[in-house]
Amino acid sequence: MKTNISSYSSWIICPKANPLADLRLFCFPYAGGSSLLFRSWNDYLPPFIEVCAIELPGRGRQIKLPLCNNMDVLVDAIASIIHPYLDKPFAFFGHSMGGLISFELARLLRKKYHLLPVYLFISGRHAPQIPNSYPAIHNLPEADFIAEIRHLNGTPPAVLENSELMQLFQPILRADFAVLETYIYTPEPPLACPISVFGGLQDSEVSCDELQAWQEQTTTNFNLDMFPGDHFFLHSAQSMLLASLAKYLSAQINQNLTFKL
């Protein structure tokens, strides 16, 4: 029996419920982001795809849940919540922090439930086996932390310059950066699902070689697509990004690949 969309928990936000969809695309935001990043994606993707955005603790409908600053704890919680909704083929898309979360979630689902996504899409994130090359910022004093966030260019200036908004937003950013900066990669066998990686041509945070290194994490097809834009090209090049997503998922679903190992 298929899970009813109305039973989704506050962790899973589906802007447009589509019970007839052949595939669920679970989307994971970047640091500081929320499910709102993906609210319009259903309008630009084929009807066989149902977009399901993951709402992380401490924001949106999860505003009352305590923030999480540890990758293992976060992924374990998501795995338990998401498992009932993996009763049809599913794929993962994650940008930056979301890419790393979706990768570790795929590995945990393989280990715990013998399930795999039919496709893993990683956007704007270097391969997990490559150590972070930047100093940690999650525990910096407030002025230094805000300066680093401003440099990343992912937070609107109106938010950065509003002290009240930053009092609300800063703890979320610090927790998310702690998730990334305390992450320790553990080698495991590559995933038996295709991986497509997306990058920004002007992204100063992640190089093409660091994106290409994701190829080591799959035993099957790998693709690397580069788009115009900086680290947040998923906004500026959204139409091109979604066209690539639709292309890869259409080809994959037509192959009728099973999503169980």
pLDDT at residue number 136: 85
- The domain in which residue 199 lies consists of 7-133+187-254
- The CB density around residue 37, as the number of other CB atoms within 10 Å, is 17
Looking at the domain assignment, is residue 22 inside a domain?
Answer: yes
Global pTM reads: 0.92
pLDDT at residue number 257: 46
Looking at the domain assignment, is residue 175 inside a domain?
Answer: no
Identify the active-site residue in 10, 34, 40, 96.
96
Looking at the domain assignment, is residue 217 inside a domain?
Answer: yes
Looking at the domain assignment, is residue 225 inside a domain?
Answer: yes
pLDDT at residue number 116: 97
* Domain count of the fold of the chain: 1
pLDDT at residue number 1: 40
Respond yes or no: is residue 102 known to be catalytic.
Answer: no
Confidence check: pLDDT of 258 > 70 = no
Confidence check: pLDDT of 215 > 50 = yes
- Cα angle for residues 38, 44, 50 (degrees, 5° grid): 60
Looking at the domain assignment, is residue 178 inside a domain?
Answer: no
pLDDT at residue number 182: 96
- The residue that leads in pLDDT, 97 or 153, is 97
Residue 7 pLDDT level (bands cut at 50, 70, 90): very low
Looking at the domain assignment, is residue 61 inside a domain?
Answer: yes
For the segment 53-64, the average pLDDT, to the nearest whole number, is 93
pLDDT at residue number 4: 47
Average pLDDT, rounded, for the chain: 91
> Where residue 50 sits, what CATH number does that domain have?
3.40.50.1820
Looking at the domain assignment, is residue 23 inside a domain?
Answer: yes
